[in-house]
Structure 1
Amino acid sequence: MAGQDDQAGANGREGADFAATVAERVRAELAGLSRSELKVARALLAAYPAAGLETVAQFAKRAHVSAPTVLRFIGRLGFESYPAFQKALIHEVDQRLSSPLRQIAEVEGAAERRRNAPAVARHYIDVLSWSFDTLPEAEFERAAELLGDPGRPIHLRGGRFSRVLAEYLASHLAMLRPAVRVIPPDELAQATTLLDFGQRDVLVLFDYRRYDPDLVGFAREAAARGAHVVLFTDPWMSPAAQAAEVVLPARVEAPSPFDSLVPAMAVVEAVVAAVAERRGGAVRGRLGEIEALSRRDDAE
């Protein structure tokens, strides 16, 4: 996790073969933006990446600023022109839609440099370092604050593969605090969970490319009912980011045809550590009671 200077250093990391997304650039610049530029940033992140694919005039109208303000904001992100900015967004849209069938061709093209264990290790060192260097510190702290508050019920959902992350995080949170549950996959459980959401509830969602429309819709409905949404996603951003209060992106590139959850798991571990630190002495007491109950069950 880092500020703007560290973000710039990450963008130039030797050996890394991926670039910062536009959203990552925006989040790295947030603290230094003027009030009008901040309006542009929020408008872009609220409808990402679609807002940036509009004309300058349309984008300015959406953000309630002038066209020169939009262009000044684009320059702050490091783009020489509006077309260059849009070209980067179009490339991201293409990456969002990447499938295992398409990725296998990319892996075959890089097989010579990725087929051995040391090369794979270097790859994961790169994606892990990049993920943490670009992780928004303020949002990470907000996630730890929400998840560490025992007065807030925590509900977790994930996709076909990312559900394992939801279950892993839930298992750890349940040892640190009460009122933690993974939302069952059946429609009734999901509907009743949404129905009961309120301003104290926290929805933790895991959604990675190619994004799950059901998860996106669930996040939007949860936010509309007042729940706080914490989203774990990739740098190209699940559309659920539009409804999220907190977004924690992690790289997914892998030396196989399939996206990797290794960086996301590392971010989950970091969140668990932050929550445990916030809970302080209460953790020791809760773990002691859990152990005592487990021993009693074993004795019976």
Structure 2
Amino acid sequence: MPTLTRAEKQLAHSLLDNYPVSGLGSITTVADNAKVSTPTVARMVKKLGCSGFPEFQARLRQELEAAISNPIAKHDRWATDVPDAHILNRFADAVMANMRQTLAQLDPKMFDAAADLLAEEAHAVHVVGGRISRALADYFFTHMQVIRPGVTLVASNSNAWPHYVLNMQPGDVLVMFDVRRYEHDILKLAEMAQAQGVRIILLTDQWGSPAARHAEFSFNIRIEAPSAWDSSVVTMTVVETLIAAVQNRLWDDSRDRVKRLEDLFDQTKMFRKFV
């Protein structure tokens, strides 16, 4: 954005409003929707490294195909060019590349602002995930529940979500997990929560969940790996770093909560003690 002219920024915002579909029309349609000239479109796509508008659209289609691909398609794409190295090395290389690219694009100021928001105990925090990502949501919830009061894990059954939205108050925070193939119910929940004045923190992938248009903070995390399934390693890293950041902000209160929790564990004899 900082390198774009005023007209190019206007075009960029127009494209992002319904990305990537907004860029799949003719160059004239794209220009008209953004209220800019066709030469502006041509100039900007070259700034993005494309030889012209056809190449720009080809890249959009590739992104769209990647974003909606199912596990079989993902596996076949990786399997067509399998190197000789062991799967352990190939998977680790992919994860480390995901980590580097995600951290290079993640805005520390946005991260700090999201952590500040999660540390505001005056507002409740609600957490929800999708079919696979609900495991990450549950992990985040379990830790946040120890750190601060007022944290709710939204049930995985979307039929019950209106009941949760009913209890959400303006200023509350909804932490959402949604990666490809983005779930319709997650998008609808984001719409309903935003209408209630709820502030949304979204953890998604490099392509971006449609729910991002309703999110105040959106973390685009790279997830591709040489597998039929996407990798959650970098997402988990961001989740655990958020947990640590919130705990640091609330440590005095959090330490007391942890101590009380440990006392309760002792009463229930949940954990084995060797001394």
TM-score (norm 2): 0.87
- For the pair 1:96 / 2:67, whether they are aligned, the reply is yes
Q: Distance in 1 between matches of 2:198 and 2:105?
A: 26
Aligned equivalent of 1:119, options 84, 87, 90: 90
> What do the CA deviations read for 1:90-122 (whole angstroms, capped 9, x no partner)?
110110121111122223223343534233322
Do the aligned partners of 1:198 and 1:227 also contact (CA within 8 Å) in 2?
Answer: yes
Structure 2 CA distance for partners of 1:79 and 1:276, relative to 1, 3 Å: farther
Q: Distance in 2 between matches of 1:294 and 1:31?
A: 53
Q: Distance in 2 between matches of 1:72 and 1:153?
A: 46
Do the aligned partners of 1:114 and 1:255 also contact (CA within 8 Å) in 2?
Answer: no
Q: Distance in 2 between matches of 1:138 and 1:78?
A: 27
Q: Distance in 2 between matches of 1:54 and 1:136?
A: 31
> What do the CA deviations read for 1:151-205 (whole angstroms, capped 9, x no partner)?
2211111111110000011111112211111101335531112233332111111
SS of corresponding position for 2:123: coil
Partner of 1:263: 234
- For the pair 1:182 / 2:188, whether they are aligned, the reply is no
Q: Distance in 2 between matches of 1:87 and 1:163?
A: 33
Partner of 2:210: 239
Q: Distance in 2 between matches of 1:75 and 1:245?
A: 30
Q: Distance in 2 between matches of 1:92 and 1:202?
A: 30
Do the aligned partners of 1:113 and 1:119 also contact (CA within 8 Å) in 2?
Answer: no
Name stretches of at least 5 consecutive residues in structure 2 with no aligned partner.
271-275
> What do the CA deviations read for 1:99-150 (whole angstroms, capped 9, x no partner)?
1111222232233435342333222222222222222333322321221211
Structure 2 CA distance for partners of 1:194 and 1:274, relative to 1, 3 Å: same
Partner of 2:128: 157
Do the aligned partners of 1:46 and 1:241 also contact (CA within 8 Å) in 2?
Answer: no
- For the pair 1:193 / 2:176, whether they are aligned, the reply is no
Q: Distance in 1 between matches of 2:259 and 2:160?
A: 32
> What do the CA deviations read for 1:246-265 (whole angstroms, capped 9, x no partner)?
11111221222211111211
Give % identity: 34
Q: Distance in 1 between matches of 2:2 and 2:243?
A: 26
Partner of 1:286: 257
SS of corresponding position for 1:156: strand
Do the aligned partners of 2:199 and 2:216 also contact (CA within 8 Å) in 1?
Answer: yes
Q: How does 1:48-87 map to 2 (within 5 A)?
A: 48-87=19-58
Partner of 1:144: 115
Matched residue type, 2:237: A
Partner of 1:166: 137
Q: Distance in 2 between matches of 1:91 and 1:203?
A: 31
Q: Distance in 2 between matches of 1:187 and 1:208?
A: 17
Matched residue type, 1:42: H
Do the aligned partners of 2:147 and 2:257 also contact (CA within 8 Å) in 1?
Answer: yes
Bigger Rg over Cα? 2
Q: How many residues align?
A: 270
Do the aligned partners of 1:104 and 1:256 also contact (CA within 8 Å) in 2?
Answer: yes
Q: Distance in 1 between matches of 2:41 and 2:80?
A: 39
Matched residue type, 1:266: T
Q: How does 1:243-254 map to 2 (within 5 A)?
A: 243-254=214-225
Name stretches of at least 5 consecutive residues in structure 1 with no aligned partner.
1-29
Structure 2 CA distance for partners of 1:198 and 1:48, relative to 1, 3 Å: farther
Do the aligned partners of 1:45 and 1:242 also contact (CA within 8 Å) in 2?
Answer: no
> What do the CA deviations read for 1:257-284 (whole angstroms, capped 9, x no partner)?
2111112111111211222233243332
Structure 2 CA distance for partners of 1:113 and 1:136, relative to 1, 3 Å: farther
Structure 2 CA distance for partners of 1:144 and 1:70, relative to 1, 3 Å: farther
